[in-house]
Amino acid sequence: MAQAPAPKPWIDAIHAYVPGKSAGDDGRPLVKLSANENPLGSSPMALAARAAAQAPSLYPDGDSTALREAIGRLHGIDPALIVMGTGSGELLHTATGAFAGPGDEVLYSQYAFSLYEIVARRCGAVPVEAPARDYGNDVDALLGAVNERTRVVLLANPNNPTGTYLPRAEIARLHAGLPADVLLVLDQAYAEYVDPRRDDGSLALAVRHANVLVTRTFSKAYGLAGERVGWGTGSAAIVAVLNRIRGAFNVSNSAQATALAALQDQHFVEQSRLHNAAERNRFVAAIGALNNHGLRAVPSEANFVLVLFEGGLTGETAYRGLAERGYIVRWLPGQGLASGLRITIGQRADMDAIAAALREMAEAA
Ligand SMILES: Cc1ncc(COP(=O)(O)O)c(C=O)c1O
């Protein structure tokens, strides 16, 4: 007789998600630029609402009604077509698990968000990676990897960890090339950081087609990563499926109240976007000035930049050197990016200090 319950083999194959670190190997607290959190914190209105939220002894509204209505008003979406998640991560899991299972394939790009492999494996599906182009999603490569076993395609735009962005025409071309029975999940975790004039058309696609789910989060530009609130929108049929299998009371009292107030403070979101764009531009220019030392920044539309180290200074040495100077960023050898550091755009003084430290290390290498 077996000694203990055995997890399914596909569960055994999962390596746990690795979150961004907040301390050095020696336990010293560091400035955390490893998890794409908002350096401006949270909206004061959101913090006030959090403090005044309904008592924790009571169950929350299991349908997050007021929050869905407010999201619907802001984005011009019927609230009945919005489903809430404990972060958008929960929705990526529920959507993939609802439409794919053992024997099926879940497709995404090389250098995609690391959660995608976990999401695919958790439901027993086979994760399939299409080659990236210039560190970003390549529509031709993705379409070329589709076959009769493909059930779900996951694509983040902007992409994490590379920051790359596909324009509206490319997202439309990807959708048009997919069979109608393949679910296209457009993960817009960083959408609020994109200049609104460059909107990729995902929400409009989700309204018009039966095989598109868009996911969004309050974790990034809304500054509420700790409250765990995300949402998705798609056809009535997709939303009904997700509502049947998501956690019954998945969004807590305080999370609903905090996100609702955050939504009403669009000034904070706008400030977050403008701060990010300005500091990202300055940082990318500083990296550009180090091109002769082999450093370059992958073009980013997100709240982080992937810096590649192709000269004397390696990604690993730069990672350790920044940690010695008090900054923790993300080094991603496990994702095939040993020569790159993903650096969250933080406050101005921190970005200046990081740029200066990289210059010093590159010149010394
Ligand atoms: C591309 C992408 N999608 C989804 C998420 C999930 O975020 P959350 O579950 O906090 O909404 C993240 C978080 O890092 C992300 O980078």
CB of 160 closer than 6 angstroms to any ligand 1 atom? yes
CB of 36 closer than 6 angstroms to any ligand 1 atom? yes
Q: Are residues 51 and 30 both part of a single domain?
A: no
CA distance 295 to 301: 19
Q: Output the pLDDT for position 11.
A: 93
Find the 217 Cα to ligand 1 centroid distance in Å: 7
Domain end position, chosen among 239, 264, 289:
264
Q: Are residues 222 and 80 both part of a single domain?
A: yes
Asked if the structure places residue 114 within a domain, the reply is yes
Backbone dihedral region for residue 349 (phi beyond 0: left; psi -120 to 50: alpha; all else: beta): alpha
Is the distance from CB of 108 to CB of 155 less than 8 angstroms?
yes
CB of 230 closer than 6 angstroms to any ligand 1 atom? yes
Asked if the structure places residue 23 within a domain, the reply is yes
Is the distance from CB of 132 to CB of 163 less than 8 angstroms?
no
Residue type, 79: P
Asked if the structure places residue 125 within a domain, the reply is yes
Q: What is the largest CA-CA distance in the chain?
A: 65
Q: Are residues 176 and 252 both part of a single domain?
A: yes
Residues paired with 338 in a beta bridge: none
Asked if the structure places residue 292 within a domain, the reply is yes
Asked if the structure places residue 33 within a domain, the reply is yes
CA angle 128, 131, 134 (to 5 degrees): 145
SS3 state of residue 215: strand
CB of 225 closer than 6 angstroms to any ligand 1 atom? yes
Q: How far is CA 254 from CA 90, 218, 260, 302, in A?
A: 18, 13, 10, 27
For residues 49-65, b (16+ Cβ closer than 10 Å) or e, as one string? bbeebeeeeeebbeebe
Find the 88 Cα to ligand 1 centroid distance in Å: 6
Domain end position, chosen among 207, 232, 264:
264
Residue type, 200: D
Find the 189 Cα to ligand 1 centroid distance in Å: 6
Q: Are residues 247 and 196 both part of a single domain?
A: yes
Residue ID of nearest Cα to ligand 1 atom 12? 189
Asked if the structure places residue 1 within a domain, the reply is no
SS3 state of residue 174: helix
Find the 106 Cα to ligand 1 centroid distance in Å: 18
Find the 219 Cα to ligand 1 centroid distance in Å: 7
Residues paired with 337 in a beta bridge: 332
CB of 223 closer than 6 angstroms to any ligand 1 atom? no
Q: How far is CA 292 from CA 155, 170, 298, in A?
A: 33, 33, 16
Q: Are residues 350 and 238 both part of a single domain?
A: no
Q: Output the pLDDT for position 86.
A: 98
Helix axes 266-288 and 44-51, enclosed angle (nearest 10): 130
CB of 35 closer than 6 angstroms to any ligand 1 atom? no
Is the distance from CB of 280 to CB of 274 less than 8 angstroms?
no
- Characterize the bridge pairing of strands 150-156 and 183-187: parallel
Rg for the chain (alpha carbons), in Å?
21
Dihedral pair phi/psi, residue 100, rounded to 5°: -140, 150
CA distance 83 to 204: 16
CA 297 to chain centre: 19
pLDDT along the chain (365 residues), means of 10: 86 88 80 96 98 94 98 98 98 98 98 97 98 98 98 98 98 98 98 97 98 98 98 98 97 98 98 98 98 98 98 97 96 95 98 98 96
Domain end position, chosen among 264, 294, 319:
264
DSSP letters, 13-45, are TPPPP-PPP-B-TT--B-EE-SS---TT---HH
Q: Are residues 259 and 329 both part of a single domain?
A: no
Task: Assign residue 157 the CATH number of its domain.
Answer: 3.40.640.10
- The number of the ligand 1 atom at minimal distance from the alpha carbon of 35 is 14
In the chain, beta strands by DSSP E:
31-32, 82-85, 105-109, 126-130, 150-156, 183-187, 212-217, 230-233, 295-297, 304-309, 327-328, 330-332, 337-344
Q: Are residues 28 and 48 both part of a single domain?
A: no
Cβ-based neighbour number of residue 48 at 10 Å: 12
Q: Are residues 22 and 58 both part of a single domain?
A: no
Residue ID of nearest Cα to ligand 1 atom 3? 189
Q: Are residues 204 and 231 both part of a single domain?
A: yes
Give the residue from 82, 19, 23 showing the smallest Cα distance to 225: 19
CA distance 315 to 303: 20
Q: Are residues 120 and 184 both part of a single domain?
A: yes
Is the distance from CB of 83 to CB of 70 less than 8 angstroms?
no
Q: Are residues 112 and 237 both part of a single domain?
A: yes
Asked if the structure places residue 5 within a domain, the reply is no
Q: Can you read off the two tokens belonging to residue 360? A: 């010093």
Find the 18 Cα to ligand 1 centroid distance in Å: 13
Q: Output the pLDDT for position 110.
A: 98
Task: Assign residue 285 the CATH number of its domain.
Answer: 3.90.1150.10
CB of 162 closer than 6 angstroms to any ligand 1 atom? no
Domain count, the chain: 2
Residue ID of nearest Cα to ligand 1 atom 2? 189
Is the distance from CB of 119 to CB of 154 less than 8 angstroms?
yes
Boundaries of domain holding 229: 44-264
Find the 312 Cα to ligand 1 centroid distance in Å: 33
Find the 119 Cα to ligand 1 centroid distance in Å: 12
Q: Are residues 36 and 48 both part of a single domain?
A: no
Q: Can you read off the two tokens belonging to residue 123? A: 């439901």
CA distance 187 to 155: 6
Asked if the structure places residue 244 within a domain, the reply is yes
CB of 158 closer than 6 angstroms to any ligand 1 atom? no
Q: How far is CA 294 from CA 132, 331, 344, in A?
A: 21, 17, 20
Q: Output the pLDDT for position 1.
A: 59
In 183-227, beta strands by DSSP E:
183-187, 212-217
